[in-house]
């Protein structure tokens, strides 16, 4: 067989089924690569003993017969999911050393499917960021060019998969945090419909937006992982949808004849870099060859998505992060005068600049006299943005366009201007505000040989259709098969 890090999740599952490799051998191989490329900054925690114990259990399960395809295949989790076997920090100093007494539902379901966890992956602190430069434990580098960002907030997940340190990883997407790093690192990543995957055990940033999803090399791999992750969780997550688990691989090979792909004119306006536009146009031409029809549509409130998101998300964050105060878990300031002083010093010392910025913004827009002017108005426009999508879906079946206006930028390029990071989310925020499924699929390369992703957006519960379009595109192209040279 080829080297394990050259194989996809589906291929590794087949090798395990054929008994050409064991789960322990795969775990050993990937743990070695993690150590070899530690300077990438992708992993925040590993535990060799815990991983090998899971691998031995997977081998025993396969030996007993009837094990699922994913049994024994390694993965890693974004450090926003709580895990019993590994520490959970959410990329923040305020949770340094924290260990959860339980696993997040997504973690548990993938473990029940037999997958072996290699460790926890870096992320922007509490998932707040577009570059993975906001992690309290240092930035993550993009394997395609280590002088550039991998995207965020799931940058550790994207970098680890792109570098072949792990065949697949979990991520979370609040405003584009699966799709954008997948685009920047040449991967396939999907955010399902809000509520498809349980949020139980996923440390909350913005509760009405956060959603878990997989990141891997291929649409087939994402379909396998998403099938294992999704399903109702009414006893633990009141926002989970009452939709049964679904086999997303079932429709991967359906034809695209007659499929109407909507192209929002607002996504192809002046802010889009020429190199990204060229890659997107070429990918769309391939989909036309496969039988799809391109239709121009409009999402007229696209530009409003940025101010709406950066009112609603910080407002929810200011509430969710109030629990981190030094009382029950995590960091407590070593010196303080009284309880109020302990709160202030703990939060000042524990939270990074971006988190503090968003907490203050959120508290402001929820304060007396400003709630109606900002938060309530943002919620009204959010509903209008969702309505724009429903109007668009009367004219098309799938919406396509760029994931980001440019390829990955250089580390530190936006350090003095946090608004530059915010503006880079222009194409991913609308689908998040509407709660729609969206994904990124490799579409080519732009400036500096950096990857470009094609964004696909579907109507509610249409993840299977998105994965089908992505899979057929990947059968016609080889962008998803290419690897960064330093990590072959």
Concatenating the DSSP letter of every residue in 235-270 gives TT-TTS-------TTTTTT---TT-EEEEEGGGGST
How would you class 359 by CB atoms within 10 Å of its CB: exposed for 0-12, middle for 13-18, buried for 19 or more? buried
How would you class 29 by CB atoms within 10 Å of its CB: exposed for 0-12, middle for 13-18, buried for 19 or more? middle
DSSP lists the bridge partners of residue 444 as 452
179: nearest Cα among 383, 466, 456? 456
For residue 340, give every residue at least 6 positions away whose Cβ sits within 8 Å of its Cβ, in sequence order, or none: none
Cα separation values, 42 from 39, 212, 466, Å: 8, 19, 28
Among this protein's residues, is 177 annotated catalytic? yes
Length of the chain: 488
CA distance 138 to 73: 28
294: nearest Cα among 451, 454, 460, 478? 454
Q: Which two tokens stand for residue 362?
A: 């959120």
For residue 188, give every residue at least 6 positions away whose Cβ sits within 8 Å of its Cβ, in sequence order, or none: 182, 215, 216, 217, 218, 219, 221, 222, 439, 440, 441, 442, 470, 474, 480
Q: Which two tokens stand for residue 186?
A: 């040449």
Cα separation values, 144 from 170, 442, 477, Å: 20, 14, 19
Q: Which of 92, 154, 157, 177 is an active site residue?
A: 177
DSSP lists the bridge partners of residue 78 as 121
Specify the DSSP class assigned to residue 92. Answer: -
68: nearest Cα among 32, 6, 20, 110? 110
Q: Which of 78, 120, 141, 191 is an active site residue?
A: 78
CA distance 476 to 454: 14
Task: Give the chain's radius of gyration (CA, Å).
Answer: 21
Q: Which of 153, 227, 318, 440 is an active site residue?
A: 153
CA 390 to chain centre: 24
210: nearest Cα among 312, 350, 362, 75? 312
How would you class 137 by CB atoms within 10 Å of its CB: exposed for 0-12, middle for 13-18, buried for 19 or more? middle
Determine if residue 406 is left, alpha or beta; phi over 0 gives left, psi from -120 to 50 gives alpha, anything else beta.
Answer: beta
Enzyme catalytic residues = 78, 153, 177
């Amino acid at each position: 067989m080829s080297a394990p890090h050259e194989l996809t999740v589906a291929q590794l599952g087949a090798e395990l089924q054929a008994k050409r490799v064991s789960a322990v051998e795969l775990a050993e191989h990937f743990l070695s690569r993690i150590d070899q490329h530690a300077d990438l900054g992708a992993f925040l925690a590993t535990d060799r003993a815990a991983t090998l114990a899971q691998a031995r259990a997977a081998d025993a399960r396969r030996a007993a017969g009837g094990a699922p395809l994913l049994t024994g295949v390694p993965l890693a989790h974004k450090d926003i999911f709580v895990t019993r076997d590994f520490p959970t920090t959410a990329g923040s100093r305020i949770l340094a050393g924290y260990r959860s007494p339980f696993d997040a539902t997504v973690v548990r379901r993938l473990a029940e499917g037999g997958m072996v966890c290699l460790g926890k992956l870096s992320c922007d602190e509490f998932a707040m960021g577009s570059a993975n430069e906001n992690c309290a434990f240092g930035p993550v580098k993009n394997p395609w060019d280590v002088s550039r960002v991998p995207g965020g907030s799931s940058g550790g997940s994207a970098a680890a998969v792109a570098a072949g340190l792990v065949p697949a990883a979990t991520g979370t997407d609040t405003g584009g945090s699966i799709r954008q790093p997948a685009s920047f690192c040449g991967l396939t990543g999907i955010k399902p419909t809000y509520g498809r995957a349980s949020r139980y055990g996923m440390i909350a940033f913005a509760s009405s937006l956060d959603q878990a999803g997989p990141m891997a090399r291929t649409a087939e791999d994402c379909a396998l992982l998403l099938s294992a992750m999704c399903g109702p969780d009414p006893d633990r997550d009141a926002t989970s949808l009452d939709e049964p688990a679904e086999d997303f691989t079932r429709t991967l090979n359906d034809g695209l004849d007659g499929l109407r792909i909507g192209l929002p004119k607002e996504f192809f306006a002046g802010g889009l870099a020429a190199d990204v536009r060229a890659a997107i146009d070429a990918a769309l031409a391939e989909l036309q060859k496969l039988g799809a029809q391109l239709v121009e549509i409009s999402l007229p409130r696209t530009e409003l998505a940025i101010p709406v998101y950066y009112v609603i998300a910080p407002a929810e964050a200011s509430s969710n992060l109030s629990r981190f105060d030094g009382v029950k878990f995590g960091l407590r300031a070593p010196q303080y005068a009284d309880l109020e002083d302990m709160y202030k010093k703990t939060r000042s010392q524990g939270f990074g600049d971006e988190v503090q910025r968003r907490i203050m913004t959120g508290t402001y827009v929820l304060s007396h006299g400003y709630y109606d002017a900002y938060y309530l108005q943002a919620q009204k426009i959010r509903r209008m943005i969702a309505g724009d999508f429903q109007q668009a879906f009367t004219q098309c079946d799938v919406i396509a366009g760029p994931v980001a206006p440019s390829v990955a930028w250089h580390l530190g390029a936006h350090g003095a201007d946090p608004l530059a990071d915010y503006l880079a989310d222009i194409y991913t925020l609308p689908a998040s505000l509407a709660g729609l499924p969206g994904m990124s699929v490799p579409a080519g390369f732009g400036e500096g040989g950096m990857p470009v992703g094609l964004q696909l957006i579907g109507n509610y519960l249409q993840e299977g259709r998105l994965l089908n379009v992505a899979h057929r595109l990947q059968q016609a192209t080889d962008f998803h098969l290419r690897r960064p040279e330093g990590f072959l």
